[in-house]
């Protein structure tokens, strides 16, 4: 079977973000199947003869799907955050027009892949796609996210990034749904250092974009705080050590389509505190402490319990390690390739 993975729009919008991570890991995992001939479309001028085309990226306000398809087609929709919370993601007139085109193009798609049952439910309701067309395929942390016991490796990374002895960690983007202001307030009120990892934190883009108004407030309030450490983008090789060095990983988002940092942290043996909404409980299993993302006192109480109760923390670590082992890119590729065969 010849499969084309179309990443032509990825270069423009999302190559360095989570969608780029998903696409590359999916391609690498699928290429291990001897009965699949995986081709990567990087430019719109590339039109190879294939049996199926998979678009690993769907944008609500830019055209990323063809209106007319010539072969069976699959698209991955990771979440519907901009549609579920429209006040925080204004599309503008051009975006509204492109959204109509994208919804029309979706009608011709043979199957939709998404990252969680939570996202599946929202995609079905908001985009009016039948349940039987939407397939949940859980993501996974890369294999290099693991426990590191070599103190030389850990100390080298600690020194490289001037990390404090004890800190809470956040890894991700700066969008409204990430709840960064409550995250930082909670850490400051508990006197705990907060380390922030993600390329968006150090981008030189204007903060006047409507989608960044919450992040602008965050920067104005916390950028110069000595207990807030903004690292920006960190290569995976170092990020594994940063996870291992952290006392706890925080993902207290208002909404997530998946929440990859949950699994990355669990695989590194670091406790996780995450929200009790959308996909996060589904992904975290029993290996995380669940909180109400709007309740700062509840988040504070959770952080303190991790820092002060070693027995509780170790129990959470063990549950997290077991949970992370349920997910793998081999499983992602297996479920995805089965779907390809089913729609041919």
Q: Are residues 22 and 108 in the same domain?
A: yes
Residue 128 lies in a domain: yes
DSSP output for 123-182: HHHHH---GGGEEE------TT------HHHHHHHHHHTT--SSEEEEES---GGG-HHH
Is 146 a member of any domain? Answer: no
Same domain, residue pair 249 and 111:
no
- Which pLDDT belongs to residue 13? 47
189 shares a domain with 46: no
Predicted confidence at residue 261, as pLDDT, reads 98
- 94, 134: one domain: yes
Could you tell me the residue range of the domain that residue 109 belongs to? 2-140+328-343
Give the relative orientation of helices 310-324 and 260-267 as an angle to the nearest 10 degrees: 110
Is residue 125 included in any domain, yes or no?
yes
Nearest to 75 by CA among 35, 129, 144, 38: 129
| Nearest partner of 76 among 137, 25, 132, judged by Cα | 137
Residue 268 lies inside a defined structural domain of this protein: yes
Do residues 78 and 133 both lie within one domain? yes
Is the distance from CB of 229 to CB of 164 less than 8 angstroms? yes
Do 304 and 200 fall into the same domain?
A: yes
- Residue 183, domain member (yes or no): yes
Residues 176 and 132 in one domain: no
| Residue 191: predicted pLDDT | 97
Number of separate helices (H) and strands (E) present in the chain: 14, 12
- Give me the residues of the chain with pLDDT under 70, please: 11-17, 45-47, 204-206
Query: In this structure, are 167 and 130 located in the same domain?
Result: no
CA 74 to chain centre: 20
Cα–Cα distance measured from residue 92 to residue 136, given in angstroms and rounded to the nearest whole number: 31
CA dihedral 325, 158, 19, 16 (to 10 degrees): -150
Residue 179, Cβ density class (10 Å: 0-12 exposed, 13-18 middle, ≥19 buried): buried
For residue 145, being part of any structural domain is answered with no
This prediction has a pTM of 0.95
pLDDT score recorded for residue 204: 64
Kindly state whether residues 186 and 200 are assigned to the same domain: yes
Q: How many domains does the chain have?
A: 2
The CATH number linked to 303 is: 3.40.50.2000
Quick check: is 321 in a domain? Answer: yes
Same domain for 318 and 182, yes or no, is yes
Same domain as 165, residue 132: no
- If asked whether residues 173 and 132 sit together in one domain, one would say no
Q: Is 269 a domain residue?
A: yes
């Amino acid at each position: 079977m010849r499969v084309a993975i179309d990443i032509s729009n990825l270069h423009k919008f999302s190559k360095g973000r989570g969608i780029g991570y998903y696409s590359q890991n999916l391609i690498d995992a699928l290429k291990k199947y001897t009965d699949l001939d995986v081709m990567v479309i990087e430019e719109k001028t590339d039109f190879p003869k294939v049996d199926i085309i998979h678009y690993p990226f769907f944008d609500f306000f830019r055209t990323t799907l063809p209106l007319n398809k010539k072969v069976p087609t699959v698209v991955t929709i990771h979440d519907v955050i901009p549609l579920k919370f429209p006040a925080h993601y204004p599309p503008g007139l051009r975006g509204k027009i492109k959204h109509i085109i994208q919804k029309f193009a979706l009608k011709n798609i043979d199957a939709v892949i998404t990252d969680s049952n939570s996202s599946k439910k929202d995609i079905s309701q908001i985009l009016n796609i039948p349940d039987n067309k939407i397939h949940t395929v859980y993501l996974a942390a890369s294999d290099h996210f693991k426990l590191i016991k070599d103190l030389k490796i850990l100390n080298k990374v600690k020194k490289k990034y001037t990390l404090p002895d004890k800190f809470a960690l956040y890894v991700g983007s700066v969008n409204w749904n990430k709840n960064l202001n409550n995250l930082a307030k909670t850490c400051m009120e508990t006197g705990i250092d907060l380390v922030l990892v993600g390329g968006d934190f150090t981008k030189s883009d204007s903060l006047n974009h409507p989608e960044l108004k919450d992040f602008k407030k965050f920067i104005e309030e916390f950028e110069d705080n000595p207990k807030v450490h903004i690292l920006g983008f960190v290569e995976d090789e170092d990020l594994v050590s940063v996870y291992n060095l952290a006392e706890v990983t925080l993902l207290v988002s208002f909404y997530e389509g998946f929440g990859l940092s949950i699994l990355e942290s669990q695989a590194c043996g670091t406790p996780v505190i995450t929200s009790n909404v959308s996909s996060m409980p589904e992904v975290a299993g029993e290996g995380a402490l669940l909180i109400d993302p709007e309740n700062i006192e509840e988040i504070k109480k959770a952080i303190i319990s991790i820092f002060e109760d070693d027995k509780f923390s170790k129990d959470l670590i063990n549950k997290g390690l077991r949970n992370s082992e349920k997910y793998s890119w081999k499983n992602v590729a297996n479920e995805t390739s089965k779907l390809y065969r089913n729609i041919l």
